Amino acid sequence: MKSIVIHAAKDLRVEECEAGQPGPGEVAIRLAAGGVCGSDLHYYNHGGFGAIRLKEPMILGHEVAGHITALGEGVDGLSVGQLVAVSPSRPCGNCKYCQEGRRNQCLNMRFYGSAMPFPHIQGAFREILVADARQCAPADGLTAGEAAMAEPLAVTLHATRRCGDMLGKRVLITGCGPIGLLAALSARRAGAAEIVATDLSDFTLGMARQNGVDRTINSGDDPEGLTPYTADKGYFDVLYECSGAAPALNAGIAAMRPGGIIAQLGLGGDMTLPMMAITAKELDLRGSFRFHEEFFSAVELMQKGLIDVKPLITHVVPLDDAEDAFKVASDRTCAMKAQIAFS
């Protein structure tokens, strides 16, 4: 079977690899759709991000969905031919953090396509994927492309959960890539009254307006665009920082009202923070990392029509041209979510 393997920055190959057989509690899935994530792009464009670097070839991908082709012993509740979204979150269930219910912080996490540990955790971009049945969320009624969006949607649902009560809140989003737009959809579903978003790309800002953001600001063309929101110690109750860029975070902090909550989702490396402003305004800075149970909530919200991710899927590329998906996904002047069609 074919898989998508990253060897080094800009060295992406479609290679043959062995297709496994499902064991007890496992299923075999013929992949249908896989989304190119920001972390995939870091591996493709830079060979990693921050201190996390590729040390060996690694199959990429963790935003996937497909149809079950075989059931292992003891699997019930799933059926051959069924479309499932596959959660890449595979905590051990036994470490102290799993036992505390913080499974996204598992000490022995096996998250698809991650170079954090060594040997690396191989990813899900392969024609046949053998997965634990408990990773699979039945996606009846969705397209494969929609089902593959469950993973990034789960990221923003987890961040929204970290932010607490959202009803009637004024929300600022810095960074309008897929995570920024999904954060807007999640915040609105949770009851946000007003959403403002900033970015450097007119294309992504236009997509943000089309997906329910009340106002957008191009912070490159209008670097003082957030200044009116800094009066009287600030305006926004919640900030989703989705860019991983220090200037965006600093501008957002200046526009936060006292007691506001910052959810840091963007992973761009370490940043210097305006700690005096954070302290004086009594802001809560909350990291938000991955997800776990929110994955199944993401699928359910899409199935019920409560969150529509279809407009965010701007490009679909066949498996044999997989590198084109990475190239177009890197171009924020024309792409939001690029997906690879495996079948």
- Confidence class for position 267, pLDDT limits 50, 70, 90: confident
Residue 179 has pLDDT above 90, yes or no: yes
Quick check: 152 pLDDT over 80? Answer: yes
The per-residue pLDDT for 343 is: 81
- Considering the domain delimited by 2-149+309-341, tell me its CATH architecture: Alpha-Beta Complex (3.90)
- Type and span of the H or E element at 49: strand 48-49
Could you tell me the pLDDT band of residue 329, with boundaries at 50, 70 and 90?
very high
Is residue 181 a contact partner of residue 205, using CB atoms and an 8 Å limit?
Answer: no
* Token representation of residue 145: 């492309």
> Looking at the predicted structure, is the pLDDT value of residue 19 above 90?
no
Separation CA 317–CA 324 (nearest Å): 7
pLDDT at position 174: 97
CA distances (Å), origin 41, targets 180, 295, 309: 16, 22, 20
24 prior amide bond cis, ω within 30: no
Q: Give me the pLDDT at residue 226, please.
A: 97
Position 313 pLDDT exceeds 90: yes
Round to whole Å and give the CA distance between 341 and 319.
6
Structure confidence at residue 270 as a pLDDT band (50, 70, 90) = confident
Is residue 79 predicted with pLDDT exceeding 80?
yes
The closest of 6, 46, 33, 45 to 315, measured between CA atoms, is 33
Answer left, alpha or beta for residue 194, where phi above 0 means left and psi between -120 and 50 means alpha.
beta
The helix (H) or strand (E) run that includes residue 265 is: none
- Mean of pLDDT over the chain: 96
Does position 217 have pLDDT exceeding 80, yes or no? yes
Percent of the chain residues past pLDDT 90, beyond the cut: 94
Query: Average pLDDT of 200-213?
Result: 97
Q: pLDDT value at position 158?
A: 97
> What is the rounded distance in angstroms from the CA atom of residue 137 to the CA atom of residue 127?
19
Nearest to 129 by CA among 59, 55, 184: 59
- Angle between helix 150-163 and helix 178-189 axes, rounded to 10 deg: 50
H or E element that contains 338: strand 337-341
How does pLDDT run across 5-14, given as a tens digit for each residue? 999 999 999 9
**Structure confidence at residue 50 as a pLDDT band (50, 70, 90):** confident
Percent share of the chain, pLDDT over 70: 100
Domain assignments of the chain as residue spans, ordered by start: 2-149+309-341, 156-287
Question: What's the one-letter identity of residue 63?
Answer: E
Quote the CA–CA distance of 66 and 341 in Å, as a whole number: 10
Determine the distance from the C-alpha atom of residue 5 to the mean position of all C-alpha atoms in its chain, rounded to a whole number: 20
- Rounded to an integer, the average pLDDT of 104-108 is 95
d(CA 88, CA 49): 19
Structure tokens at 166: 């959202």
At residue 269 the predicted structure's pLDDT band, cuts being 50, 70 and 90, is confident
Name which residue leads in pLDDT, 286 or 49. Answer: 286
If one compares 38 and 145, the residue with the highest pLDDT of the two is: 145
Task: Return the structure tokens found at 120.
Answer: 């690396």
Residue 182: band (very low, low, confident or very high) from pLDDT cuts 50, 70, 90: very high
Averaged over 242-248, what is the pLDDT? Answer: 93
Q: What is the pTM of this model?
A: 0.95
Superfamily for 156-287? Answer: NAD(P)-binding Rossmann-like Domain (3.40.50.720)
